[in-house]
Structure 1
Amino acid sequence: MKQVVAFITSSNGVLCILLAVVLFIRCVLKIKYLSIKDIVINHVNCFRNPQGKLLFVPVFMYIVLPFFIAICIAKNKVINGDILNLITIIISILTAMLFTLLTVVMDMKEKVKANKKYSANEADTIKDALKQTYYTIMFEILISILLLVLCLINVFVAKYTLIQSVLIYYFSLLMVINLLMILKRISAALDVEIEK
Structure 2
Amino acid sequence: MKIVETKIPDVKIIEPKIFGDDRGFFFESYRDDFFNSECAKRNFVQDNHSKSSQGILRGLHYQTEQPQGKLVRVIQGEVFDVAVDLRKSSPTFGQWVGVYLSSENRRQLWVPEGFAHGFYVTSDSAEFVYKCTNYYAPQYEKSLLWDDTDLGISWPLIDNQPPKLSKKDGEGSSFRDAVYFA
TM-score range, shorter chain: under 0.3
More helix by share: 1
Give TM-score scaled by structure 1 length. 0.23
Give TM-score scaled by structure 2 length. 0.24
